[in-house]
Structure 1
Amino acid sequence: MVKYVLKRFLHLIPLIIGMTFISFLIIKLAPGDFLTSLKMNPSISKETIEALRKSYGLDQPVIKQYFLWLWNALHFNLGYSFAYHRPVTSLIADRIANTLSLTVTAFFITWIFAVPLGIIAAFYRNKFVDRIITSVSLVGLSIPGFFVAFLLMFFAAKTGLLPIGGVVSQNYEKLSLTGKIIDRLKHMVVPLTAMVVGSISGLVRLVRGTVIDELHKDYVKLAVAKGLPKRVILFKHVLRNAMNPFITLIGFDIAGLLSGAALIEIITAWPGMGRLMFEAVMLQDFFVVMGALYIGGIMLVIGNLIADILLALNDPRIREREIEGRR
């Protein structure tokens, strides 16, 4: 198992290097940068701008710039934000907590509700319960998340029942502990609902389809013939065999914890990584863009590695194929 994990990890290292290198080149192909825009400011001399460019190594050839950035990034020195006048590492640290609080909550809510609903729909296939669940999930899939966000923003603005934008209210520090928790939860309602609606709907349909496929296999017919209770067949045998595609999805969800809420964050003015990335791109804040991509790449590696480990633990056949491959 240790060799399997190490092999998977080594495969993912070139992935993150390739991703950051291509992103670096694409950013460099764009005309100008943040320092170029400073030339429009008459109070800043050309000498000052050139000195800044030289001090951050931006006057070097592109390949040399990349390897300089990569060496610093490996030591988690992600550079300095020209727009925010702060080190990129501390800037991302502030925003990443907001994004993770939103995406991790959405992740757990999605899986807690979608998996049981999908199993129920599959178990009662073509019956009234199944039709209700599939109809509601189809409606949820038909409405884009950003449109749900717009509708909820409109509702919040018209009724005043929910706050718009930000993580906490202005009087947050004056609230009691319970009041602070409630205040944070109220601010999460709009972006969280917009994220969860489509995610639950899509996962419900996937769980339903996968479980139905398993229910038609020969081992299920044999278990029924032996007289095993339906609950034992469903939860002990069917669900475990149906878990592989779900585990792969968990890996993708973990990888997308930082990027999955980008559009929702921008629409709902949630100060997270997605909004930071958008602002950095608009301002051509090079080090912030690369820092966010680098952290996103690390999350991608971690997500895929976790998915591979869970797949190997759930299905011994995967480990056996790896052993046979080495032979």
Structure 2
Amino acid sequence: MLIYILKRMLGMIPAMIAISILAFTVIQLPPGDYVSTYAAQLAQSGETVDSDMLNSLRDRYGLGENVVVQYFKWIGGVVQGDFGQSFEWNQPVTELVWGRMAMTALISFVTLIVMWSFSLPIGVYSAVRQYSAVDYIATAFAFLAMATPNFLLAILLLYVSTMWFGVSVGGLFSPEFVNAGFSLAKVWDFITHAWIPIFVLGTAGTASLIRIMRANLLDELHKPYVEAARSKGMPEMRLILTYPVRVALNPFISTVGWVLPALISGELIVSTVLNLPTAGPLLLQALKSQDMYLAGAFILLNGGLVLIGTLISDILLAISDPRIRLS
């Protein structure tokens, strides 16, 4: 098992290198650079553009050098824990990134756990009680939830809470707790706010996982090994949980590889709508202003979270299915 995990972790290294090249390519695609954008903003506001100052900024950040040189300068700093300097905020990127990424990772992983907690039992029950009232309700919910965009659901929640209840649901903390130190009151305040983005992000994913689990289990329920175990008098619930559910879990668990990146990408829009202190709004602003080091750090760390999700999926598959460990 340890060798299996080590192989998967070693396989993440070339993938991470490819993600870094892709991230750097993406932030280099728009014409110009941060200095050009900054000069255009100064010109629009009617301020004088100092060409010497702009050239000094280009030299300071290496923007006048070859793209390959810029990449290796950037990735060399990343390896040493230095993500560079944010042009717009005039702060080290490390100071800006970690708090936002921690919130993004926390919301994404909690959402994933909530999705599994609901989709697994509902999917199993829908398959075992096929065409029952619960099955029809779960199917209707799944189709409706998968058809509703996350940002639209977030806007509806904002409207209903504000217009009907007079309660603001934006952010992850109340104003008095934003800069407060750690306390049980702050944790409770976070819980009262966090359920909203978790609900918005997890709705479509839960619906999709319910359909996946139901379809997988229906394929297994009528196979010969299930009928053989049933003919030997094994209790029905024990039979279902011991054999077909365990086999049907494999495709269900493997969805972590795409559910986690879907959560992270969906978080960008939802966090902007709900005004969350996560990576989404800051990444969007960095891309708009071509703050290359800040944008590159977010894209790189998001890619790292995707690889971590895939690794978690591989480990859970190895735990649930001995055949994977054997191979």
Structure 1 unmatched runs, 5+: 322-327
Tell me, yes or no, if the aligned pair for 1:277 and 1:288 is still in contact at 8 Å.
yes
Alignment match, 1:138: 143
1:199 aligns with 2:205: yes
Aligned 8 A contact 1:167 1:270 in 2: yes
CA distance in structure 2 between the aligned counterparts of 1:319 and 1:262, rounded to whole angstroms:
36
Does structure 2 retain, via aligned residues, the 8 Å contact 1:156–1:164? yes
1:89 aligns with 2:94: yes
Q: 1:80–1:256: structure 2 CA closer, same or farther, 3 Å change rule?
A: farther
Question: Take 1:252 and 1:225, find their aligned partners in 2: how far apart are those partners?
Answer: 39
Amino acid in the other structure paired with 1:180 = K
- 2:295 aligned with 1:310: no
One-letter identity of the residue aligned with 1:231: M
Match of 2:105, SS?
Answer: helix
Deviation of 1:38 after TM superposition, in Å, equals 2.6
Alignment-derived partner of residue 234 in structure 1 = 240
**Alignment match, 1:185:** 191
Amino acid at match of 1:35: V
Q: Distance in 1 between matches of 2:150 and 2:263?
A: 16
Contact 2:119/2:206 (8 A) holds in 1: yes
**1:12-51 → structure 2 map (5 Å cutoff):** 12-40=12-40, 41=42, 42=47, 45-51=50-56
Deviations along 1:252-293, whole A, 9 cap, x unmatched? 344556434111111111121111111111111111110011
- Change in Cα spacing, 1:232 to 1:61, as seen in structure 2 (3 Å) is same
Q: Which residue of 1 aligns with 2:80?
A: 75
Q: Does 1:292 align with 2:312?
A: no
In the alignment, the residues of structure 2 paired with residue 282 and residue 175 of structure 1 have an alpha-carbon distance, to the nearest angstrom, of: 32
1:121 to 126, 133, 137: 126
Once the two structures are superposed, residues 182-221 of structure 1 have per-residue CA deviations (whole angstroms, 9 ceiling, x without a partner) of: 4323332432221122121111111111111111211111
244-253 vs 70-79, greater mean Cα deviation: 244-253
Give yes or no for contact 1:163–1:187 (8 Å, CA) kept in 2. no
1:17 and 1:280, CA in 2 relative to 1: closer, same or farther beyond 3 A? same
Distance 1:290 1:174, change over 3 A: closer
For residues 184 and 21 of structure 2, the distance between their equivalents in structure 1, rounded to whole angstroms, comes to 46
- Residue 6 (structure 1) aligns with: 6
- Say whether residues 1:155 and 2:160 are aligned partners: yes
Q: What percent identity do the matched residue pairs reach?
A: 31
Q: Deviations over 1:42-69 (max 9, x none)?
A: 4563222222222222221001111111
Scaled by the length of structure 1, the TM-score of the pair is: 0.90
Q: Which moved more, 1:88-97 or 1:114-123?
A: 88-97
- Aligned partners of 1:170, 1:140: CA distance in 2, in Å? 32
Given that 1:162 and 1:186 are in contact with CA atoms closer than 8 Å, whether structure 2 keeps it comes out as: no
Give RMSD over aligned pairs.
Answer: 2.3
> Deviations 1:223-258 (Å, cap 9, x if unpaired)?
111111111111111121111112211243445564
Of stretches 283-292 and 266-275 in structure 1, the one that deviates more from structure 2 is 266-275
CA shift at 1:162, angstroms?
3.2
Moved more, 132-141 or 156-165: 156-165
- 3-state SS of the aligned residue for 1:311? helix
1:247 correspondence with 2:253 = yes
2:175 to 160, 170, 173: 170
Q: Contact 2:114 / 2:202 at 8 angstroms: preserved in 1?
A: yes
* Structure 2 residue 280 is matched with structure 1 residue 274: yes
Report the TM-score when normalising by structure 2: 0.90
1:35, 1:170 → 2: CA distance? 35
Counterpart selection for 2:265 from 259, 266, 287: 259
- Give the Å deviation of 1:126: 1.2
Segments ≥4 residues shifted beyond 6 Å = 173-176
Contact 1:114 1:201 in 2 (8 A): yes
**What CA distance in whole angstroms lies between the structure 2 residues aligned with 1:182 and 1:161?**
20
The answer for the alignment partner of 1:110 in structure 2 is 115
Counterpart CA distance in 1 for 2:133 and 2:174 is: 44
Shift in CA distance, 38/69, structure 1 to aligned 2, threshold 3 Å? same
AA at the equivalent of 1:190: I
Q: CA deviation at 1:14?
A: 1.6
TM-superposed deviation, 1:174? 8.3
- Please give the alpha-carbon distance, in whole angstroms, between the structure 1 residues aligned to 2:17 and 2:212: 33
- Equivalent-residue separation in structure 1 for 2:301 and 2:88 (angstroms): 19
Distance 1:25 1:97, change over 3 A: closer
